[in-house]
Amino acid sequence: MAKESLKLVTNRDEIELAYVEVGDKIYLASSGNDARWPSKILRNGRAVVRLEGMLLSRKTALVSEQEIKDRVMELLSEKYGREKTDKWFSSSSRVIELDGSPSGDESGDVYSKWLESEFDSIASNYDEHIFGNEVNYLLRERSLALMERVFDKPSHLLEIGSGTGTETIELLKKGHSVLAVDVSSKMLEIVSKKARDLDLKSNLSTLKLNGEEIERLIPLYGENSFDGIYSTYGAINCIRGLNTIPAKLHSLLKGDGRLVMGIYNKYCAQEIGGYLAKFKPRLAFNRLKSISPEGESRFCIDIYSYSVPEILRIFEPYFKSVYREGVPVIIFPSNFVKYVRMFNGRLNELKKIDSWLGKRWPFYMLGDHFLLVMEPQTSAG
């Protein structure tokens, strides 16, 4: 393959990769979920490759359009043969575009662009990720049960990080109106289609927005415009500079409103124990880092994990906690789902025990995620 490959130049070595060229663009495909190089070059926004003895610097972008991905895979098959292509790549392989121009406009936030492209690329399969994993489904069951109690009458709600609407749609069914914001336009297209198909679109508004830019909603909708705000299992953990967010949420929320958040926890007892039992101490304590890089967490992008005390401290000037729940706390997290499936018919019983314990100290501090309900401080700031 030497004559038909390029080499990706990293700080440590050079990685030999298959590639195809289309016009002035070069396309690479990842060799599976264990490959770390795609995230490294997407995080940097640029890659250096050695091709035909020349060093080339190229801008990088993750391809989310399925027709382009399919075309790249066809070209790889033509170049290397179907047998090798099927061996090297799979349906989960990411396709990376290297811009053929060595210079050009590189303005903008590389991390935000990466975040958007990653979620665009998984949008079509996101529901399978949720509903095909018993623990991910459990997370949605718990958050929805909580929000049905907190938002017990039709309300005007803001959702930060809607994804494909696994919670949005259920809340629309309950008579709420929802402004769903997400960094991924493809995610928003899916939730909008779901709402249309169920004749719920009149109560749904969508806006492409990174959670870090939430202040953009204030001039659009006005202060104290939402009865409730919620963000569960993802968006909050992707925000850099979280300290700036509580004041903005406080401005948007009515004085008697509620903020519901589901946060990826820094201290997950079951994950620590599970990885230590597998003799993987590095993975056991990855969440303790200030940032968990893609590949060392189970997410497609870098994330920030928080403990319950950390979130309370960040939000304290503007909000006070009125409810806390760990989820799950004795059931293994979703990256250990094969062990959860071993319980088969006893899972429902375990869920009840887990739910009871998750509302109690110290368990609510030790789950895979934790749910918080907060109310605005009357004298904030």
CA nearest neighbour of 102 among 36, 24, 41: 24
Extract the tokens encoding 299: 């997410």
Give the span between the Cα atoms of 214 and 259, in whole angstroms: 14
Break the chain into its structural domains and give their ranges: 2-106, 125-376
Give the span between the Cα atoms of 315 and 344, in whole angstroms: 40
Q: How many CB atoms lie within 10 A of CB 287?
A: 22
pLDDT digit string (tens) for the chain, length 381 residues = 446 789 999 877 899 999 999 988 999 998 766 677 888 888 888 899 999 888 888 999 899 888 999 999 999 999 999 999 999 998 778 899 998 765 555 556 788 888 888 888 888 888 887 888 999 999 999 999 999 999 999 999 999 999 999 999 999 999 999 999 999 999 999 999 999 999 999 999 999 999 999 999 999 999 999 999 999 998 999 999 999 999 999 999 999 999 999 999 999 999 999 999 999 998 899 899 878 766 556 666 788 999 999 999 999 999 999 999 999 999 999 989 999 998 878 999 999 999 999 999 999 999 999 999 999 998 766
Residue 246: burial class (beta carbons within 10 Å; 0-12, 13-18, 19+): buried
Q: What CATH class does 2-106 carry?
A: mainly beta
Give the span between the Cα atoms of 27 and 63, in whole angstroms: 9
DSSP track, 305-343: -B-HHHHHHHHTTTEEEEEEEEESSSS--GGGHHHHGGG
* Fold matches, 2-106 and 125-376: no
* Residue 88: DSSP 8-state: H
Cα–Cα distances (Å) from 282 to 6, 278, 328, in that order, read 32, 11, 22
Whether CATH 3.40.50.150 fits 125-376: yes
Q: 263 and 326 in contact (C-beta within 8 Å)?
A: no
Q: 90 and 32 in contact (C-beta within 8 Å)?
A: yes
Residue 219: burial class (beta carbons within 10 Å; 0-12, 13-18, 19+): exposed
Please tell me whether the peptide bond between 362 and the residue prior to it is cis, using omega within 30 degrees of 0.
Answer: yes
The CB-side HSE value for 216 (13 A sphere, CA atoms) comes to 10
Q: How many CB atoms lie within 10 A of CB 193?
A: 13
Angle at 92 between CA 91 and CA 93, to 5 degrees: 95
Give the global pTM: 0.88
Cα–Cα distances (Å) from 139 to 95, 116, 235, 276, in that order, read 30, 23, 15, 24
Determine how β-strand 5-9 pairs with β-strand 14-18: antiparallel
Phi, psi of 93 (to 5 degrees): -65, 135
Q: 170 and 145 in contact (C-beta within 8 Å)?
A: no
Task: Give the total residue count for the chain.
Answer: 381
Q: 121 and 38 in contact (C-beta within 8 Å)?
A: no
pLDDT confidence of residue 2: 42
